[in-house]
Chains A and B, each alone.
Chain A
């Protein structure tokens, strides 16, 4: 059976070609904002981001960047475009945006939403609903907004000024804030007569280990997230000289680097698993080691040792990973003598979990066996209509960008719910496909491919960085580096659109294509077709673009995998059968979509 011709009118087809945007939970139009940066239109680039992900300045420093491993550049070269740090560039160099923010109606629609927690999920819901005339009240136990972005990300990675600016930009649209107030009963909150409740309270509880000596030494054993929050609010200003951090995730990296700045001289990170299995992002591990903090892998803590009633050391057994035939890992002790690390303080960063002691179990909000709320993965509604969850509160710890994506979807649902419409009727994305042809071999985008390697973001000198909690380690790209890095983007949203009836099958596109992705061949079923291409299409994640039968009976088959979007196929096409067309895809939020000017 032959392959069907590709339906390029389905917006998801070209969306998937834009690997970075497809991978971004909030589907930020990445190539579009990078192109705007390349044109030094930083404010425009910022607004594209702000519309999609609400916190460009924060995410440009802290995002877990699911877009970067997806970047096509990793498949033709080595490293992805520094998408995340270019987002920061848009934020660093933007101009005034106050006149571009949505206008908030003075006449409200009479509906009032309560939001529990002032983290990224709740703030996104607020950002999306205020312009529609909803009133929003955020209730937060901390004295300010930001949630875990505020309490768990140290200032040397995310300056308070940047955080406050982006959080306040949302709150200042007209949200009501009830800070320093901890919700202890959902029933009480529901009695306050809100029209809907959004729970974005995060996954606030740091996990603990019950080992011998744990309770006796508790004065010097701290839960990582609590420690970071306490430092962020100035309650903790110092720590012992010798610190052991237990855990291998990003929180552990933040803990050890914070400790290093408030008195820790000999700071160790210990992790049970092999280094290659560590949960922390590669770049966070790099930053940690750059600060001279050793990471000891395969170290499993077994006991806290006390001397004179005070913590004096942690005992570890050495582990090794064994993998069975299916690749499943088990950690087993090696039997080597235990390792004793002397220390004054221990920071425990072994994960976080949700905890909902404040939600009564008889309200119709169901919980599963693991104590997690039952939440619809599309609508974000709980089993009680009108109560919604998002962010870490919904399915456990994730990254900020996921919380933002959840917030957008929850806002859509809340709006539909309060308009008595079907929550399953999700709005279609806003898409546009328009030719970039300006003349013979002239395009509305820069189609020259940069051979440059990824540019390193400059850092503050190590001594200066370690001297203070508030000195930002990463300096961000200067303009010269930013423009050079932006030029590495392959413009994957400029699509190669093929119009079969115009094609004379002259082979010009096949011959010029630098990555051999265009073929003219007999159609067949997909597996066979993939194997018969000029270079077999072995990356099954990537689609084949198949045309209808051409004059000779053959079809055009393009393997999307490593297409550079250089436009040479269109430049060498004598009949205009190939065209380079800009594909714009924007998720539609609860708010009326603001059509952003595309490359004027």
Chain B
């Protein structure tokens, strides 16, 4: 890790957002990850996305599990709320927090181990329940914190650093999420912030479960020539499905694109997401066409990236359960704790 604190001085002409803040106001402490870790780029992308979205950091709650990726919530949004939970149990904590206070924006950061191995069950159920959160998986196909074993997302043809074969097929988190009913499924690459930042911005605006699977190379254990999650491999096999343009509250869009069609999606808050599809024949709003596409891409050795699937109509957990829209901390004590008489009434109803 770096021994010095990041200097406070910033560029005098740094742009400011609508809140009068610079992107540096969204930073956390200096990373203790290996130099060059993809995860640090993802943190930088989250910082940039929150800065561009004019979000107040204290209206965000960061939740994570265990692992290199889960450490990173400390490296962005110093002023946000945070909970670094137990391995694979971040979705439970996020669910509880969300039910108690749905006025915050929830950003979960997890890794391939935390999500696809120990936390796979929690991951699946958070999706099923349509928990309103941005769930970012920093996916490097390896257990970096325990010295580089294959993780459950490591491709079968991807060898270890010492040439060891991987006998198991990979879990494709994006396909799984589409199957389970996630409303927003995207994949990015830590080495392409032009794509990743808008993806996170759109996910932050989306109401419902938004998964972003970010291929984030592990420079120490999985960035070698036989890896399918190295910088070089991902750059060579990256099949960008679309580019995003986010227009808050229906402002006019003037962007133009060279080829492919565009799909406009209006989100719950009226923002518009324009997907410029790049010469691919599938409908990103139709799960039935997305799944075969993902399958074909994977079989063809390509890594499909971009906003892969979006369902603008989906309801989130609060809407499904008719739970309190007002954060519990804003209710009066009388309402939260109505007293013995009411409790006795409830108990009596169950006798």
Please report A residues at the B interface, Cβ cutoff 8 Å.
Answer: 75-77, 441-442, 447-449, 451, 504-508, 510-512, 514-517, 535-536, 538, 551-552, 562, 564, 566, 568, 571-575
Contact = CB atoms under 8 A, between A and B. Distances in A.
Nearest to A567: B4
A507 B1 contact: no
Interface stretch (B6-14, B300-308, B313-321): B6-14
B3 A552 contact: no
A38 to B, nearest CB: 15
Interface stretch (B38-46, B124-132, B175-183, B264-272): B38-46
A568 to B, nearest CB: 6
A447 to B, nearest CB: 6
A506 B231 contact: yes
Given A504-B231, A505-B231, A507-B44, A535 B11 contact: yes
B11 A516 contact: yes
A506 B15 contact: no
B9 A514 contact: yes
B10 A441 contact: no
B35 A573 contact: yes
A564 B10 CA distance: 9
A506 B217 contact: yes
Contacts of A512: 2, 6, 30, 40
Given A441-B3, A568-B4, A511 B13 contact: no
Given A536-B13, A574-B219, A514 B2 contact: no
B41 A507 contact: yes
A552 B235 contact: yes
A566 B5 CA distance: 10
B29 to A, nearest CB: 12
Interface in B16-54: 24, 30-31, 34-38, 40-41, 43-44
Contact of B41 (A441, A508, A535, A575): A508
A510 B2 CA distance: 15
B6 A538 contact: no
16 contacts: A77-B9, A449-B7, A451-B7, A504-B223, A505-B191, A505-B231, A506-B36, A506-B219, A511-B40, A512-B6, A515-B10, A515-B11, A538-B13, A562-B12, A572-B40, A574-B34
Interface range for B: 35 or more
A383 B44 CA distance: 63
Contacts of A77: 9
A515 B231 CA distance: 25
A327 to B, nearest CB: 24
Interface of B: 1-15, 24, 30-31, 34-38, 40-41, 43-44, 190-191, 193, 217, 219, 223, 231-232, 235
B12 A511 contact: no
Nearest to B4: A448
A506 B14 contact: no
A564 B40 contact: no
A441 B35 CA distance: 10
Given A514-B9, A574-B36, A507 B190 contact: yes
B100 to A, nearest CB: 33
Nearest to B44: A511
A506 to B, nearest CB: 5
A568 B11 contact: no
Contacts of B36: 504, 506, 508, 572-575
A571 B191 CA distance: 19
B40 A514 contact: no
Nearest to B24: A514
B4 A574 contact: no
Given A506-B191, A551-B232, A552-B235, A571 B35 contact: yes
Contact of B4 (A447, A508, A517, A552): A447
B271 to A, nearest CB: 25
B76 to A, nearest CB: 11
Given A505-B191, A568-B2, A562 B11 contact: yes
The residue among B9, B31, B44, B223 with the most chain A CB atoms within 10 A of its own CB is B9
B258 to A, nearest CB: 16
A441 B5 CA distance: 12
A447 B41 CA distance: 23
Contacts of B232: 504, 551
Contacts of B8: 449, 451, 514
A245 to B, nearest CB: 39
